[in-house]
Structure 1
Amino acid sequence: MHAQVPVLIIIGPVGIGKSSTADALSEVLEYDHGLPHAVVDLDHVRRGFPPPQDDPFNKELGFNNLAAVWSNYRSHGAKCLIIPSVMESQEDLNKIRRSVPGAELFLVRLVASLDVNHARIRGREKTAESLNWHLRRSTQLAAELAVKKLEHVVVDAETKPPSEIAREIIRKWGIAEWHGSMGKGS
Structure 2
Amino acid sequence: MDHAEVLLIGGRAGVGKTTVGWEVSARLREAQVAHAVIDGDFMGAIHPAPPGDPHRAGITERNLAAVWGNYAALGHRRLVYTNTVSVLDEAAPMFRRAMGDGVRLVRVLLTATDETAERRLAGRELGSELEHETRSSARKARLLEERAPEGVVRVVTDGRSVIDIAAELVTVTGWADSGAGGAPATG
Q: CA RMSD in A?
A: 2.2
Q: Match for 1:135: what amino acid?
A: T
Tell me, what secondary structure is at the counterpart of 1:4? coil
Q: Match for 2:76: what amino acid?
A: A
Structure 2 match to 1:121: 121
Cα pair distance change 1:104/1:56, threshold 3 Å: same
Structure 2 match to 1:161: 161
After superposition, the C-alpha distances for 1:106-164 in whole angstroms (9 at most, x for unaligned) are 10000111100011111111334x11111111101111111112352111111222221
Q: Match for 1:61: what amino acid?
A: I
Structure 2 match to 1:87: 85
Tell me, what secondary structure is at the counterpart of 1:40? strand
Structure 2 match to 1:139: 138
Identity, in percent, stands at: 30
After superposition, the C-alpha distances for 1:78-132 in whole angstroms (9 at most, x for unaligned) are 230010001264222211111111310010000111100011111111334x111
Structure 1 runs not aligned, ≥5 long: none
Q: How far apart in 1 are the matches of 2:5 and 2:70?
A: 16
Does the CA-based 8 Å contact 1:12-1:142 persist in structure 2?
A: yes
Structure 2 runs not aligned, ≥5 long: none
Quote how far apart the aligned CAs of 1:54 are. 5.0
Does the CA-based 8 Å contact 2:39-2:83 persist in structure 1?
A: yes
Q: What TM-score do the two structures reach when normalised by structure 2?
A: 0.88
Structure 1 match to 2:75: 77
Does the CA-based 8 Å contact 2:76-2:182 persist in structure 1?
A: no
Q: How far apart in 2 are the matches of 1:19 and 1:133?
A: 19
Cα pair distance change 1:93/1:184, threshold 3 Å: closer
Cα pair distance change 1:116/1:53, threshold 3 Å: farther
Tell me, what secondary structure is at the counterpart of 1:109? strand
Q: How far apart in 1 are the matches of 2:153 and 2:146?
A: 14
Q: How far apart in 1 are the matches of 2:10 and 2:168?
A: 15
Q: How far apart in 2 are the matches of 1:84 and 1:93?
A: 14
Tell me, what secondary structure is at the counterpart of 2:105? strand
Cα pair distance change 1:143/1:183, threshold 3 Å: closer
Quote how far apart the aligned CAs of 1:45 are. 2.0
Does the CA-based 8 Å contact 2:38-2:79 persist in structure 1?
A: yes
Q: How does 1:1-186 map to 2 (within 5 A)?
A: 3-31=2-30, 33-52=31-50, 54-87=52-85, 89-101=88-100, 102-128=102-128, 130-150=129-149, 152-177=152-177, 179-180=178-179, 182=181
Tell me, what secondary structure is at the counterpart of 2:154? strand
Q: How far apart in 2 are the matches of 1:68 and 1:141?
A: 28
Cα pair distance change 1:39/1:184, threshold 3 Å: closer
Structure with more contact order per residue of length (Cα contacts < 8 Å, sep ≥ 6): 2
Does the CA-based 8 Å contact 1:36-1:77 persist in structure 2?
A: no
Q: How far apart in 1 are the matches of 2:116 and 2:127?
A: 19
